[in-house]
Amino acid sequence: MPAILERSTLLRHTLFALVGIGVLLLLIHNLGDYRNSQLAPIAYTVCAAAGLTMLVGQSGQISLGHGAFMAVGAYTFALLQAKWTSSHPNVQLVGLLAAGVVVAAVFGAVVGVAAARLRGPYLAGATLALALGLPSLASYEKLSDHLGGSTGLNVTSPNPPTGVNAYRWQSIICCVSAVLVLWFLSNLSRSRVGRSFRAVRDDEVAAALCGLSVARVQVLAFVVSAGCAGLAGGLLAIINLTAGPGAFPLSLSLSLLAAIVFGGLGSMAGAAYGSVLVVMLNLSWAQTLTDKLSIHSAKVANNMPLMIYGVVLAVAMLAAPYGVQGALHRLRMLATGTRKS
Amino acid sequence: MFRFLNLTLNGVSLGMIYAAVALALVMIWRATRIVNFAQGGMLMFTTFIAWDLAQRHHINYWVALAVAVGAGLVIGAVAERLLVRPVENGPPLNAVIVTLGLLIFLQALAGMIWGNAQAHSYSPAYSIVGYSAGDRTLLFSPNDVYIVTAVLIVVVVLYLLFQRTSLGLQMRAAAFSPEVARLLGVRVGRLLTLGWAIAAALGALAGILAAGTQTGYVQTVGPFDALLVYGFTAAVIGGLDSPIGAVIGGLLLGIVLSYADSYVSNNIQTMYAFLILIAVLMVRPNGLFSRSAARRV
**pLDDT tens per residue across all 341 residues of chain A:** 677 777 888 888 999 999 999 999 999 888 888 888 889 999 999 999 999 999 999 998 989 889 999 999 999 999 999 888 777 888 889 999 999 999 999 999 999 998 888 888 888 888 988 988 888 888 887 787 888 887 888 888 888 888 888 889 999 999 999 999 999 999 999 999 999 999 999 999 999 999 999 999 999 999 999 999 999 999 999 999 989 888 888 888 888 988 998 888 888 888 999 999 888 877 667 677 777 777 767 778 778 878 888 888 888 888 888 888 888 888 888 888 765 54
In this complex, the residue of A126, A302, A304 whose CB is nearest that of residue B281 is: A126
Q: Does residue B243 form part of some domain?
A: no
CA distance B34 to B44: 20
Question: What is the total count of domains within chain A?
Answer: 1
* Res B160 pLDDT > 60: yes
Please report, to the nearest 10 degrees, the dihedral formed by the alpha carbons of residues B80, B82, B85, B86 taken in order. Answer: -150
> How buried is B84 (Cβ within 10 angstroms: 0-12 exposed, 13-18 middle, 19+ buried)?
buried
Q: Does residue B263 form part of some domain?
A: no
Q: What is the pLDDT of residue B292?
A: 58
Q: In the structure, what pLDDT confidence band is assigned to residue B295 with cuts at 50, 70 and 90?
A: low
- CB proximity A215 to B under 8 Å: no
Q: Which domain holds residue B80?
A: 20-220
Q: Does residue B289 form part of some domain?
A: no
Distance from CA of A241 to the nearest CA of B (A): 25
Q: Does residue B193 form part of some domain?
A: yes
Name every chain B residue with its beta carbon within 8 A of the beta carbon of A134.
271, 274
* Res B294 pLDDT > 70: no
User: Are B98 and A318 inside 8 Å of each other by CB?
Assistant: yes
Q: Does residue B12 form part of some domain?
A: no
In this complex, the residue of B86, B97, B109 whose CB is nearest that of residue A261 is: B97
pTM of the entire predicted model:
0.87
User: Are A121 and B100 inside 8 Å of each other by CB?
Assistant: no
Name every chain A residue with its beta carbon within 8 A of the beta carbon of B83.
314, 318
Q: Does residue A290 form part of some domain?
A: no
Listed in sequence order, the DSSP H helices in B52-177 are 61-79, 85-87, 92-114, 142-164, 166-176
B202-230 pLDDT, tens digit each? 999 999 999 988 887 888 877 888 899 89
Please report, to the nearest 10 degrees, the dihedral formed by the alpha carbons of residues A201, B98, A122, B89 taken in order. Answer: -60
* Higher per-residue pLDDT: B96 or B160: B160
Question: What is the total count of domains within chain B?
Answer: 1
Distance from CA of B113 to the nearest CA of A (A): 7
Report which of A291, A177, A302 is spatially closest to residue B114, judged by C-alpha positions: A302
User: Are A130 and B274 inside 8 Å of each other by CB?
Assistant: yes
CB B270 within 8 A of CB A137: no
Q: What is the pLDDT of residue A319?
A: 84
Identify the closest residue of chain A to B91 by CA–CA distance.
A321
Q: Does residue A274 form part of some domain?
A: no
* Res B293 pLDDT > 60: no
- CB proximity A140 to B under 8 Å: yes
Q: Does residue A190 form part of some domain?
A: yes
Q: What is the pLDDT of residue A341?
A: 45
CB B245 within 8 A of CB A122: no
Q: Does residue B255 form part of some domain?
A: no
CA distance B38 to B110: 13
> How buried is A94 (Cβ within 10 angstroms: 0-12 exposed, 13-18 middle, 19+ buried)?
middle
**Across B27-45, average pLDDT:** 89
User: Are A126 and B109 inside 8 Å of each other by CB?
Assistant: no
* Higher per-residue pLDDT: A72 or B135: A72
Q: Give residue A297's region: left, alpha or beta (phi > 0; psi -120 to 50).
A: beta
- CB proximity A132 to B under 8 Å: yes
- CB proximity A295 to B under 8 Å: no
Q: Which domain holds residue A238?
A: 3-248
Q: What is the pLDDT of residue A284?
A: 67
Backbone angles phi, psi at B133, to 5 degrees: -110, 105
User: Are B268 and A133 inside 8 Å of each other by CB?
Assistant: yes
Give me chain B's average pLDDT, please: 88
User: Are B295 and A204 inside 8 Å of each other by CB?
Assistant: yes
Identify the closest residue of chain A to B287 by CA–CA distance.
A122
- CB proximity A332 to B under 8 Å: no
B101-122 pLDDT, tens digit each? 899 899 989 989 988 778 888 8
CB A35 within 8 A of CB A284: no
In this complex, the residue of B111, B267, B282 whose CB is nearest that of residue A299 is: B111
Which amino acid does the sequence have at B36? N
